[in-house]
């Protein structure tokens, strides 16, 4: 039977909250660093979901979001490559609706059920951007969830699902704009959110014959804490059984929001529990997720998960930093450095193993690991006799570093790190998500997929080092 | 394999004032340096049979030298080897002379950096690639070494900083005695220690000047040199070692030395017959793009034991009056660093020292001087070591 065989999440390390000057609220929300976006978070959540599993077994990938980097150019193909998945797989982006996550979820499940995919990965991620000081900004959050579907070893099955469509302009973002717009509050919630959620849950219960009290957990998308409470009352869910939506800790992460809550629920689940998941956007989706005896085993996979990612956090020092990261405020770096030119798509295409998969090579003669891939071994001079080795998930230690105050990057000083991998090999990478005070020789590092820059209309992605979270 | 020792002589040398030369373009600077070298040798440009031009990013090809000097259809080769360009142009010209193919050869080096309007060194063009390498400035890539150095030898970072400050103060002092230097003012230890941070532990005064300038030499065989002047200078050794990125591909590279520097100095010492460099070499122009680079070079060249560089520096061994004066002309730090010209600028100072014409910087009866010129950064670089000696 088709079901969830693994799950994972990603929450950026940064929080706007009490520790942020001029944020003006005690409530915390997660925010992506300047070098993160939907695509990088999708890669991180996919890695979390696939930790301890065979990446080459994945034969389908759906990437869901409302904030893709390109209007034309698939995100899923980049996620598949950076995730070091195989190339004979089906990939698709699912977008344009806050419900994109649960839509992708349904598509993946249907594909496994129909037998067109055996191991199908779904990611959902969003960077929620509203006008400065708006409710959307204050209640929003950035994050990602990932699920692996398959027909053997399910930790949870999807027993039923229901969808309704509701054509309405309540929240929307026109092409070319970065912030989400909203119509007048009362209309948005009464005719939009509450109406669609109410109808979808009522019809799902009718269709399945289930009663509200038969659910061990109720997971609800909501734009904010107040609407969440209203929806709980409307569908007559027992507040004690409602999954904490993490307002004030994480925030509304858009297309990923309901699914990130589901990840939390699965992390804490017992065997044979029934969850109701309700998502909203241009209508509503409702799902019945049912854990199996396998859940305990799957919980033990080496993922960081929602629990791990939420616990690892740093306060954005100043609201102005956040505005700078999102490009809503530009500060002079004080130095004149040439702007990086656009990369060559031909070079990016040819060097994918190095750049996106972050593969090095291991010499078949002397076993020396080298990054980037080489033709001739640096030690024994053997020619063209190497085996690729993925280093993106290898632990690493800092050998030496520099702190560059004149690099002209948004994160001054730019930390350039020389790191040695536990698997062998050395690389020189920028370090991100760091507090300069914690940077020390021999510190433990891991790799994280990031956006280096937008140049020539190309979002140039690569890996950076970061302190282990 | 034959040694280059005593097969090539310098009979003329010239160098412009280095600095922010808003008044001159790269051609103007070459004309000034080459005419000074010609006048020094008593030759005219029509006597030049072949030329080598060292230039990093300001020009392509050897043609700009012909265009500026109006050289008439002679062979000119442009040489590029990053910051070691000037030394490598000289090295290649020496081989042509030693082979007897040409009698009179011109070597010129030039760079015009300040017109870019950018901070620090700005890389050349070339085809776009994946563009994913860290946007590493020179201070950042060189600071990887001192950062590791303190850790490797268990030094307190503030003690390392003091040794680096001593180097900065020394080179500023030497530069203050040099009317052609970019920076001619003395600084204090306090100023060096409290200067704005550029790339830790390198502050503003740990970084060399980014300058415009040109230098040139006229070389020939010793038997011809004898007929032209009595105080010609002889080439004693020419080393060059080029890295293959070993430092980044091999985790065993320690970031506290330059392997290329060790290899190039070994070649040059063998050719020149130098056994005890600290005793035999009187003065050296080394590639102090950063004070930490000078410190490590002094160990790589065998002038201080490993890890003892800071002690030797603080003890004044490399001061102008020390056992082996390092950068008596102010070095890259104060004379400045117009990339393609720097190697030849080093030979300019050594030649003047060996001829007893170094003015207030003059060392007492020097017989051997050494130029060490480094292109690249820790982990992978091109290092040229040139040893020059007074005629017997």
- Say what the ipTM of the complex is: 0.90
Q: How far is CA B320 from the centre of its chain?
A: 17
Q: If pLDDT is split at 50, 70 and 90, which confidence band does B28 have?
A: very high
Mean pLDDT calculated for residue range A147-172:
95
Mean pLDDT calculated for residue range A95-120:
96
Q: Which residue of A has its CA nearest to B133?
A: A429
Residue B292: list chain A partners with CB under 8 A. Answer: none
pLDDT in tens, B37-79: 999 999 999 999 999 999 999 999 999 999 999 999 999 999 9
How far A72 CA sits from the closest chain B CA (Å)?
A: 21
Q: Which residue of B has its CA nearest to A341?
A: B128
Mean pLDDT calculated for residue range A368-386:
96
Residue B253: list chain A partners with CB under 8 A. Answer: 426
Residue A342: list chain B partners with CB under 8 A. Answer: 128, 131
Q: What is the CA radius of gyration of chain A?
A: 22
The two three-digit tokens of residue B231, written as one number: 């105080």
**Record: fold of B138-204+236-390:** Peroxisomal Thiolase; Chain A, domain 1 (3.40.47)
What does the pLDDT read at residue B123? 66
Helices B291-300 + B138-152 axis angle, to 10: 60
As a whole number of angstroms, the distance between CA A130 and CA A255 comes to 15
pLDDT at A76 over 70: yes
How far B293 CA sits from the closest chain A CA (Å)?
A: 14
pLDDT at A333 over 80: no
A-B Cβ pairs (cutoff 8 Å, strict): 140
What does the pLDDT read at residue B386? 98
Mean pLDDT calculated for residue range A370-381:
96
pLDDT mean across residues, chain A: 95
The two three-digit tokens of residue B293, written as one number: 């680079």
Q: Residue A338 is nearest to which of B122, B131, B245, comparing CB atoms?
A: B122
As a whole number of angstroms, the distance between CA A129 and CA B381 comes to 46
Rounded to the nearest 5 degrees, what angle is found at the Cα of A25, between the Cα atoms of A21 and A31? Answer: 70
> Chain B neighbours among A 354-413 (CB < 8 Å)?
354-355, 368, 370-371, 374, 378-379, 399-409, 413
Mean pLDDT calculated for residue range B11-24:
97
Collapsed DSSP state (helix, strand, coil) of residue A467: strand
Q: If pLDDT is split at 50, 70 and 90, which confidence band does A408 have?
A: confident
Is A405 in Cβ contact with B199 (below 8 Å)?
yes
Greatest Cα pair distance in chain B: 59
Is A378 in Cβ contact with B244 (below 8 Å)?
yes
What does the pLDDT read at residue A64? 98
- Portion of chain B with pLDDT greater than 70, in percent: 99
Give the H or E element holding residue A290: strand A283-291
Beta strands in chain B (DSSP E): 9-15, 50-54, 76-79, 105-111, 197-200, 202-203, 213-220, 233-242, 283-285, 325-326, 368-377, 380-390
pLDDT in tens, A337-365: 777 678 999 999 999 999 999 999 999 99
Taking the Cβ of residue A114 and every Cβ of chain B, the question of whether any pair is shorter than 8 Å is answered with no
Q: Residue B119 is nearest to which of A337, A418, A462, comparing CB atoms?
A: A337
Mean pLDDT calculated for residue range B193-206:
96
pLDDT in tens, B269-327: 999 999 999 999 999 999 999 999 999 999 999 999 999 999 999 999 999 999 999 99
The two three-digit tokens of residue B218, written as one number: 């006229």
> Chain B neighbours among A 1-40 (CB < 8 Å)?
none
Segments making up each domain of chain B, as ranges = 9-117+212-234, 138-204+236-390
Mean pLDDT calculated for residue range A225-246:
95
Q: If pLDDT is split at 50, 70 and 90, which confidence band does A449 have?
A: very high
Is A429 in Cβ contact with B134 (below 8 Å)?
yes
Chain B positions contacting chain A at CB under 8 Å are 116-120, 122-123, 127-137, 139-141, 143-145, 147-148, 151, 196-200, 244-246, 248-251, 253, 255, 379
Is B248 in Cβ contact with A416 (below 8 Å)?
no
The two three-digit tokens of residue A298, written as one number: 């799957």
Interface with chain A: mutation pick from B128, B150, B160, B250, highest number of A CBs within 10 Å: B128
What does the pLDDT read at residue A334? 66
pLDDT mean across residues, chain B: 96
Architecture of domain B9-117+212-234: 3-Layer(aba) Sandwich (3.40)
What does the pLDDT read at residue B59? 94
Q: If pLDDT is split at 50, 70 and 90, which confidence band does A380 have?
A: very high
pLDDT at A317 over 80: yes
Active-site residues of B, by number, are 83, 337
pLDDT at A335 over 80: no
As a whole number of angstroms, the distance between CA A362 and CA A365 comes to 9
What does the pLDDT read at residue A423? 94
pLDDT at A332 over 80: no
pLDDT in tens, B146-197: 999 999 999 999 999 999 999 999 999 999 999 999 999 999 999 999 999 9
What does the pLDDT read at residue B391? 87
Domains B9-117+212-234 and B138-204+236-390 share a fold: yes
Q: Residue A426 is nearest to which of B127, B148, B248, comparing CB atoms?
A: B248
How far A81 CA sits from the closest chain B CA (Å)?
A: 16
Is A403 in Cβ contact with B143 (below 8 Å)?
yes
């Amino acid at each position: 039977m088709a079901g969830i065989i693994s799950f994972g999440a990603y929450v950026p390390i940064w929080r706007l909250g009490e520790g942020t000057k001029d944020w003006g609220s005690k409530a915390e929300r997660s925010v992506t660093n300047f070098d993160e976006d939907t695509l990088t978070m999708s890669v991180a959540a996919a890695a979390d979901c696939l930790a301890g599993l065979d990446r080459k077994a994945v034969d389908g990938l759906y990437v869901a979001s409302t904030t893709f980097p390109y209007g034309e150019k698939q995100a899923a193909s980049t996620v598949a490559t950076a995730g070091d998945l195989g190339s004979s797989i089906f990939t698709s982006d699912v977008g344009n609706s806050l419900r994109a996550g649960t839509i992708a979820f349904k598509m993946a499940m249907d594909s496994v059920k129909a037998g067109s995919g055996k191991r199908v990965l779904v990611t959902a991620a969003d960077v929620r951007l509203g006008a400065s000081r708006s409710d959307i900004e204050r209640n929003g959050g950035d994050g990602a969830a990932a699920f692996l579907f398959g027909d053997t070893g399910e930790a949870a099955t999807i027993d039923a699902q229901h969808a309704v469509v509701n054509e309405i302009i309540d929240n929307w973002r026109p092409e070319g704009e970065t912030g989400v717009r909203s119509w007048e509050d009362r209309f948005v919630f009464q005719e939009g959110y509450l109406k669609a959620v109410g109808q979808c849950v009522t019809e799902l219960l009718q269709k399945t014959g289930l009663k509200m009290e038969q659910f061990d957990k109720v997971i609800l998308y909501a734009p904010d804490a107040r609407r969440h409470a209203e929806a709980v009352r409307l569908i007559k869910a027992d507040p004690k059984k409602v999954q904490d939506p993490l307002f004030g800790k994480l925030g509304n992460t858009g297309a990923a929001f309901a699914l990130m809550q589901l990840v939390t629920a699965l992390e804490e689940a017992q065997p044979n529990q029934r969850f109701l998941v309700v998502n909203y956007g241009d209508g509503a989706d409702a799902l019945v997720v049912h854990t199996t005896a396998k859940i305990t085993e799957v919980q033990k996979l080496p993922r960081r998960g929602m629990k791990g990612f939420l616990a690892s956090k740093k306060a954005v020092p100043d609201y102005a930093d956040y505005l700078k990261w999102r490009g809503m405020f530009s500060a002079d770096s004080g130095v004149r450095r040439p702007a990086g030119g656009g990369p060559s798509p031909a070079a990016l295409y040819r060097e994918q193993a190095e750049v996106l998969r972050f593969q090095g090579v291991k010499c078949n003669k002397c076993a020396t690991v080298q990054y980037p891939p080489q033709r001739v071994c640096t030690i024994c001079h053997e020619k063209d006799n190497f085996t690729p080795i993925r280093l993106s998930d290898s632990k690493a230690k800092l050998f030496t570093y520099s702190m560059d105050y004149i690099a002209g990057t948004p994160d001054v000083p730019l930390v350039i790190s020389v790191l040695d991998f536990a698997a062998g090999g050395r690389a020189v990478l920028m370090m991100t998500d760091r507090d300069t005070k914690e940077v020390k020789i021999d510190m433990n590092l891991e790799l994280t997929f990031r956006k280096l820059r937008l140049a020539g209309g190309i979002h140039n992605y690569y890996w950076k080092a970061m302190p282990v979270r | 394999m034959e040694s280059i020792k005593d097969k090539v002589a310098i009979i003329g040398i010239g160098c412009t004032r280095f600095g922010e030369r808003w008044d001159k373009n790269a051609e103007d600077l070459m004309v000034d340096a080459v005419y000074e070298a010609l006048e020094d040798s008593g030759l005219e440009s029509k006597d030049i049979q072949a030329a080598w031009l060292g230039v990093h990013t300001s020009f392509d090809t050897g043609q700009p030298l012909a265009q500026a000097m109006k050289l008439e259809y002679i062979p000119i080769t442009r040489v590029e080897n990053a910051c070691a360009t000037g030394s490598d142009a000289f090295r290649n010209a020496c081989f042509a002379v030693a082979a007897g193919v040409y009698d009179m050869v011109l070597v010129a080096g030039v760079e015009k950096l300040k017109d870019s309007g950018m901070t620090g060194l700005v890389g050349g063009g070339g085809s776009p690639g994946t563009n994913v390498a860290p946007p590493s400035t020179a201070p950042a890539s060189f600071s990887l070494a001192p950062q590791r150095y303190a850790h490797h030898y268990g030094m307190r970072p503030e003690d390392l900083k003091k040794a680096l400050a001593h180097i900065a103060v020394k080179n500023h002092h030497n530069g203050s005695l040099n009317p052609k230097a970019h920076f001619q003012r003395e600084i204090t230890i306090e100023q060096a220690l409290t200067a704005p941070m550029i790339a830790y532990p390198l502050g503003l005064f740990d970084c060399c000047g980014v300058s415009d300038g040109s230098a040139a030499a006229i070389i020939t065989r010793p038997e011809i040199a004898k007929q032209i002047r009595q105080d010609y200078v002889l080439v004693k050794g020419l080393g060059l070692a080029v890295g293959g990125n070993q430092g980044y591909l091999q985790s065993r590279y320690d970031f506290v030395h330059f392997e290329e520097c060790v290899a190039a100095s070994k070649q040059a010492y063998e050719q020149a017959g130098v056994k005890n460099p600290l005793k035999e070499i009187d003065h050296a122009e080394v590639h102090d793009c950063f004070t930490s680079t000078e410190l490590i070079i002094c160990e790589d060249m065998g002038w201080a034991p490993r890890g003892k560089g800071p002690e030797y520096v603080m003890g004044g061994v490399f001061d102008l009056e020390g056992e082996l004066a390092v950068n008596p002309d102010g070095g890259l730090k104060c004379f400045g660093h117009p990339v393609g010209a720097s190697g030849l600028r080093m030979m300019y100072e050594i030649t003047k020292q060996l001829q007893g014409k170094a003015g207030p910087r003059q060392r007492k009866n020097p017989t051997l001087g050494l130029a060490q010129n480094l292109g690249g950064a820790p982990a992978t670089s091109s290092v040229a070591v040139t040893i020059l000696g007074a005629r017997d």
